[in-house]
Structure formats: structure tokens, C-alpha cells
Amino acid sequence: MLPAVDGFNLVPLKPGSATELLLTNAAGEQIRTFADSNGWFTLHDVAPGTYVLTTTNPMFVYPELQLDITSKAGLARAMYLVNKQQMMVQPFIIRPVALAQYYELRKPLDLWSFIKSPYGLMIGFMLFGIFVFPMLKVDPDEYKEAMAQLKGQQPADSSSQQLGLGHMPGLNWLLVEAADQLRTATGTLIGVGANGLHALECLDPRIVANLKKYAQVGSRAEGHVRPADPAIQPEVSVIPLSQKLHTIRWGATQNVLAELVDASHVRCGHKCRGYTEDAAAGLVTVHFQDKPDIKARLVVGADGVRSAIRSSMCPSDPGPRFLGYMNWNAVRRVPGSSSAPGSDVIKTIRDSKTDFTTMVYIINAGCDYQFWQVRMTSDSPCFTSGCTGGGGVPGSKARVMQRLQQLGWADIMQEVAATDESAIYERAMWDRLPLPSWSAAGGRVLLLGDAAHAMYAGPGQGARTAFEDAHQLYLAIKQHWPHPAAAAGQYEDARVHRASIIQNHAAAMANLGGLSGDMNAFWQQLHPDTPDAVGRSERFREFQVWLNSYPETVHGLPGAKYTSPEHLRAFVKHCAAATSKHRDSQQYMPSTNTSCA
């Protein structure tokens, strides 16, 4: 007699609901049965083999199971099909994973819709074009001459070169971009919490109003630990997000910002080599590769982690610091994904609870786009082909798939397999050392975004701090122009200390050899009665409260355990000493400094 399969119970079942069970083998043969009113069911005369059990219920969605059946033991093993490391034990309780949906849910409107990311390069340029450059007055004759050189024609009338805010008319500005064109995709998304969102609201509510058309709102974070050792049980932690996270594709963000910029004031294809100062004339000359120089009374370098403006400003700076990770990420369109159950979840998967070697992010990017990212530890920058990475690197997809297969993460493999290699971006992860000052040339040269404070993407503060920079610089110029030194002073007072705290907090999360250990030891010495694991969790939550309190408490939360103004000042001082101590043991990108002589 063939064995029977029993001991299964479906929960929750509503009285009167018909639940069908279908057992299918590799040859496509099927055995069908129904659950009783209490959810129990039995499958009779099942031949030995491997089967997939599918449950159909009009009200609930149940997971698919793999059943291994032998002639001696009957049902030898039951496991979840999507995670075969998660075994089931008798009695086999099958719980629903979601409610059955028969229609597409209306996407809720949220006035706080918006974004996330580790990239502040193009964002800084866009925001400057809208709010800061309109207030930068350039000598009219020199400006017309420069425009004539760029356009290859006679100088235009000065009135055509002016674009100012309504309350600050008559100010000239120019946005100079290294890329050959704006609005290029980078296979990633950005996300913003309360601090970045508030900064954008203060700059111009139109930005938020336009971005919310494309954004997805995240309401909770799920952390999954799937150890490579099958003997170790997987773990799942769920954290509700008190401040909603708004995620949006980088390409959509750039489009929204570019639409608010007058295209006649944008010059693409200008790769900056650095700058020189003419103190007597009160001007700064910016130099480009194979393009005419441009002179201005104020230059804002928002040129990213490899900033040429920063290299000219700080020639002894060691350059971008390697953080010990390689990244692969992509955004792909998945119809219905933004309204599907779980689309509001920010999901991470790691192979270890502490010192992971592989981490995956799965995040909905809004408008039915899905974002995935695979992060692996690496002793040094290790690109699949060539020495820079980028989009569509040959072999990059196979490299990621191989690692996921080693870990047995079949569900993540499906995400990657469904993505064209041309849409996958490969990057090494870098940050920059905190600077004591972001200005030079008497306040006529300033840094913003990644050029000033590129950081580890773990805390998700890259774009948010760039938004804060733009907001504070706008306020400083509005208050003090045409006095660049005074504007620079106000800008740095509002930004340098706060950004240094966030940079160091991010570096501590990056597990940078002895450096992260020294930073974490500071808090352990400050609160020796708090266990280290508890302290890390407390610090993370308190830092989120402080970050989201922008701009009221930029220098700290009075009376807080970890983020009081006194503790944060001591933390920055300790981190400066630790950074100096470990500086020579870190890896840096070759110098980007270029002579402007």
C-alpha cells in the first residue's frame, strides 16, 4: 500500500470556505484533495518522490511547500519552496502569507512623498541650479564674454543671462555639468526621511509635490538573517518606521529637478580640472578639459566623491577611501509591484547577524519599479572587468548569480536573473575623510554633497545631507550676498559639524578594520553599563531621532544619552584622532588632483 500524507493544518480558515490542495510531482502528475472545516487534510496513496504542494483558498494566499516522500518513512521532509533551509516539523502548521487580492489597490496619496540614496552628485547640481546659482552675481562683461566663447557667437544681451528668484532679481548663474547630458539612469534609487524632506520643503514645495508622483512610501523595515550554515536557524526582525521613508528611482528624481532648471543656463560636457583664485579681482577661475575657463564670484563644487574642486582646495587630502565593499544594483520594471502586498517593506537579507559577507536590499522604487542591490565584502576594489565598474559590465551578472547560488538564495536569484546585464551597475564603495572646513578663497569656493562629505550608504543619509546642504547654503547666500565670506561662515557653522557626525557614524557602521572598533569603543567607554549590542541598537534609534529633528537641533539633542551636543562634540574629536591613527592602513583611490597651471 502506498503511504498517506497527513498531519497538515491550514490556519486561519473561515467556516464555509473551500480550500483545495494540489500535490504535483516532477512529471506533472497531480493528486487533489480538500481541507476539512478545521483546516486538516490528508492525501492518500502517494507514491515515493518529491512533490510540490499548492494551496488554493478564496480568502488567503498560502506558501508552496516541497514534500519528500519515501516508501518506508512516508513523509520524510517538508520545507518551504522559496527557502529550503527553513524546515517544517509536525504538526505541519501552514500559515497564510497574505490576503488574496482580486483587484489593484489604489495607491494612497501622501503629502510627504519622496526619496533615498547614497548619491548626492547630480542632486546637488540640480538644487544649485534652482536656488543657489540664481543668487550668484557674475561680472556682466566677463559673463557675456564667457558665454560667447561657449556658444561660438557674439555676446548676448545681459538680460537674457539672468534667472533669479522673485525676491532676488538680477542675479546671474550657470550650472556646469561633467556628463554629456542630464537625466541619465544609474540603476539605483534614493530615499529620504523627515530631515531631507523638510529641507526640500523649505527650498521649494514644488519639488516635493512633483516627486510624490513617482515615490513609494515605506512603512516598515524587515531584516532577514540567512546563515550559510544550514544548522543555524534563519532570523527575521520587523521594525515599524516611525518616520515614513520615501523611495524613488534616481532617474525620476533627476527628471523632476531638471524640469525646474532653465536649460539655457546649463552647460553639459564640462569636466572640471580644478580652479585658481584671482584675489585682487575677487574672482575664481574654473578650469575644464578641452573647454574655455569660466570666471565667477562664487563657485560651489558639488562634483561628487571624486571632486576636482576638493582636490584643488585640499591638495594634501588622501582622496576617496575604500570601505571594503563591492556593490551591484539595478532597477527593473515589475508591473503591479508598487501596489502588491509588501511593497511598503524595506527588506534586507544578510548571511550573518554581525560580520556579514553578503547583504541584499530589496526595495520598491515607486511606479512599479523594483530595486535590488547585492553588497559583498572585499579586501580591495575588485571589478569584474576593467578597473572602474559602471553599467552593463560583462560578467557582472554571472558573478552575482554565482554568489547567490552558493548561499542558496533562490528568491534573490530570480530577481537578478530577470534583470538584463546592461541594467546592472557595478561599483566599489568609497567615502571621504571629514574636513574641518568646506570653503576657500575667502569664501568664494564652497563644497556641497558628496564632494564635502561622501559617506557609507548604510545609514541612508547621502542624499538627505545634500538636501540639507542646499537648504543651508541658500539661506546663507540669501542673508549675506554679496559678501561671500559671511555667507560661507554661516553655511559652515550650520553644516560642517553636523555632517562630520553623520560621516563618522556611517564609517562606524562600515566595519572599517580598527577604525570602526575605536569609534564603537568611545560609546562603550561613555556608557560602560550598557552591553555593546544593546548600545548599538540604542544609538541607531537615537541617531534617527536626532537626524529627523532637522533643522531645530542640528548640533544635538539636549539631555540625550548619545546625541547630546556635548557627547557629539566629544565623538567628533575622538573620531578625528581615530581617523588619523588608522589613516595609513586604509586604501585610497589614486589622487584626482590635476594641475591648473
- What residue ranges define each of the domains in the chain, with the CATH number in brackets? 5-99 (2.60.40.1120), 321-430 (3.30.9.30), 496-585 (no CATH)
Closest CA to 186 of 265, 248, 273: 248
Segment 287-321, tens digit of pLDDT: 999 999 999 999 999 999 999 999 999 999 999 99
Say if residue 378's pLDDT is above 90.
yes
Segment 324-375, tens digit of pLDDT: 999 999 999 999 999 999 999 999 999 998 789 999 999 999 999 999 999 9
- CA–CA separation, 473 vs 99, rounded Å? 48
Segment 166-222, tens digit of pLDDT: 345 556 888 999 988 876 678 899 998 899 989 999 999 999 989 889 999 999 999
List, in sequence order, every residue forming a beta bridge with 440; answer none if it has no partner: 445
What's the confidence (pLDDT) of residue 492?
Answer: 97
pTM above 0.75, yes or no: no
- CA–CA separation, 364 vs 333, rounded Å? 10
Backbone angles phi, psi at 74, to 5 degrees: 70, -125
SS (H, E, C) 350-403: ECCCCCCCEEEEEEEEECCEEEEEEEEECCCCCCCCCCCCEECCCCHHHHHHHH
What's the confidence (pLDDT) of residue 341?
Answer: 94
Q: Which long-range contacts does 379-386 make (Cβ < 8 Å, 24+ apart)?
A: 379/324, 380/322, 380/587, 381/322, 381/326, 381/428, 381/587, 382/326, 382/428, 383/326, 383/426, 383/428, 384/426
- CA–CA separation, 38 vs 13, rounded Å? 7
List, in sequence order, every residue forming a beta bridge with 361; answer none if it has no partner: 348, 373
Q: H or E stretch including 349?
A: strand 345-350
Cα 302 from chain centroid? 18
User: Cis omega (within 30 of 0) on the bond before 108?
Assistant: no
Of 500 and 8, the structure prediction assigns the larger pLDDT to 500
